[in-house]
Amino acid sequence: MELKSISCAFEDLDLLMLKDAVKSKYKGSVPRCYLHSYGCQQNVSDGEKLKGMIVKSGFSLTDDEASADLIVINTCAVRENAHERVFGRLGELGHLKKNNSELIICVCGCMVQQEHIAEKIKKTYPFVSLVFGTFAYSDFYRMLREVIMSGKRVFNIEEKKSEIIENMPAERSSSIRAYVSVMYGCNNFCTYCIVPYVRGRERSRPIDSVVDEVKGLVNDGYKEITLLGQNVNSYAYGFPKLLKRLNDIEGDFWIRFMSSHPKDATKELIDTILDCDKVCSHLHLPVQSGNDEILSKMNRRYSVEKYLEIVRYARSRCKDFSFSTDIIVGFPGESYEQFCDTKKLLEKVKYDNVYSFVYSKREGTKAAELEDNISVKQKGLWLRELLIMQREITEKWLSRFVGKTLRILAEDNGKKEGTLSGHSYENIIVEFVGEKKLIGSFVNIKITKALNWALIGEIV
């Protein structure tokens, strides 16, 4: 498919006109914007780009919702509770609007890309002035200006099939770790998942654009780059090739990525991870279920055995290789025995980290039409069972690092006073006593203890 890659002229007319509108509305003072992103890293990354555009238009950013002139809620659609949180939040924002009629409230992202949600907001939340989906970023300046100038409500959830926007400004929340999107959208249509409906078909950024962005970030001092895509293994120009190109960039930094689909996780991918020193030794490989019948009903297109083959290959090359995964508990029609197959898989693989979710019915997906006769309460109990078991596995499996020295990127304060926290090359949280000035640098830590969620160690 021919891709239209817009090298966005972000200094263009729309921006200039928006800046004028902002100046005249706020009479020369700097208005404030509060933006919150729900959901996955891709959404957080989109939020950072929106913040970049908002700052360019003349706003400053604030963490204080109550004093903001513009509030942007960047939404997620993956599970029902994300929807509920946004509607709850909108109820609260209605009160702010009552006290400040000039307040501009904007709702954007995956959730509102669904027509029935955009309609609901149109009807039920009249104080929301701007609603736009995941394809409308290139129209942001024009839309915001229209809201400011005309006072009218603007809705834009049109799907643009082949657009990729390059060179968007970004206000990144960290100066140490940065997200870089390498592809957008998803073609897989797993039967439970709303993502292909709200983010459209796969579009990959050209290798050179990604390489240039990463070079820029490394020059700016970033120490860890996480490449983002719904399924990076279907990156159109070859994901291992991209990793090798990025690994050749000079500098002391790490490369991570997520997510990978097991159906096209290859030995070449594992070899590339292990052979490229800057690419961290860890693979997030969402398995979703340990039962072949459920995997087939999910349209995952791999078997448990095929999945285990990749795990065995990685561990044959590196016996401590670190995996993490996503699990869905209580897919429609799943029996307790089938759920137990997932527990057995967790025992076999030994993940360092498992993100598990109760199945959430998404309107418009194939799984939403399947009969579902297990109660949410029952599913919650299964989830608990799984979490308790996994905590034990994690604690035992993490103990393979006790006595070893790991390289850590110090990222933040730790849980206990005087400690710092970071991730190891293997993506394991490590906490240790250290001075704040170490935040942002790599440190060697000798591991003294394994917990069921992290490692504890001391500076060598």
Output the six-digit token pair for 57: 């238009």
d(CA 101, CA 266): 56
The contact mask relative to ligand SF4 for 258-287 (x = CB under 6 A, - = no) is ---x--------------------------
Binding residues for ligand SF4 restricted to 183-202, rule: CB under 6 A = 186, 188-190, 193, 195-196
Tell me phi and psi for residue 365, to 5 degrees: -90, 160
Alpha carbon distances (Å) from 394 to 101, 194, 340, 422? 51, 30, 18, 18
* Binding partner of 261, given ligand SF4, ligand 5AD, none, CB within 5-8 angstroms per partner class: ligand SF4
Long-range contacts of 184-187 (CB under 8 A, 24+ apart): 184/229, 184/230, 185/230, 186/230, 186/231, 187/234
Decide whether 260 or 394 has the Cβ nearer to ligand SF4: 260
Answer yes or no whether residue 82 interacts with ligand SF4 by CB under 6 A.
no
Q: Residue 90 Cβ, how far from ligand 5AD at the closest point, in Å?
A: 22
d(CA 213, CA 182): 10
Q: Residue 265 Cβ, how far from ligand 5AD at the closest point, in Å?
A: 14
* Binding partner of 362, given ligand 5AD, ligand SF4, none, CB within 5-8 angstroms per partner class: ligand 5AD
* Binding partner of 357, given ligand 5AD, ligand SF4, none, CB within 5-8 angstroms per partner class: ligand 5AD
Query: Tell me, what amino acid is at 434?
Result: G
Pure H helices in 229-291: 239-247, 267-275
Number of H helices, E strands in the chain: 13, 21
* Binding partner of 79, given ligand SF4, ligand 5AD, none, CB within 5-8 angstroms per partner class: ligand 5AD
Q: Residue 193 Cβ, how far from ligand 5AD at the closest point, in Å?
A: 4
Q: Residue 384 Cβ, how far from ligand SF4 at the closest point, in Å?
A: 23
Residue given tokens 């820029």 in the structure block:
216
Decide whether 160 or 362 has the Cβ nearer to ligand 5AD: 362
Is 310 within 8 Å of 262 (Cβ atoms)?
yes
Q: Residue 134 Cβ, how far from ligand 5AD at the closest point, in Å?
A: 16
What DSSP designation does 404 have?
Answer: -
Provide the 3-class DSSP secondary structure of residue 177: strand
* Binding partner of 360, given ligand 5AD, ligand SF4, none, CB within 5-8 angstroms per partner class: ligand 5AD
Q: Residue 189 Cβ, how far from ligand SF4 at the closest point, in Å?
A: 6
Q: Residue 328 Cβ, how far from ligand 5AD at the closest point, in Å?
A: 5
List interacting residues with ligand 5AD (CB under 6 A). Answer: 78-79, 192-193, 286, 288, 326, 328, 357, 359-360, 362
* Binding partner of 311, given ligand 5AD, ligand SF4, none, CB within 5-8 angstroms per partner class: none
Q: In this chain, which of 113, 231, 233, 260 binds ligand SF4, going by CB under 6 A?
A: 231
d(CA 207, CA 180): 12
Is 430 within 8 Å of 436 (Cβ atoms)?
no
Is 183 within 8 Å of 205 (Cβ atoms)?
yes
Nearest CA to 330 out of 365, 296, 299, 361 is that of 361
* Binding partner of 72, given ligand SF4, ligand 5AD, none, CB within 5-8 angstroms per partner class: none
Residues found near ligand SF4 in the complex (CB under 6 A)? 186, 188-190, 193, 195-196, 230-231, 261
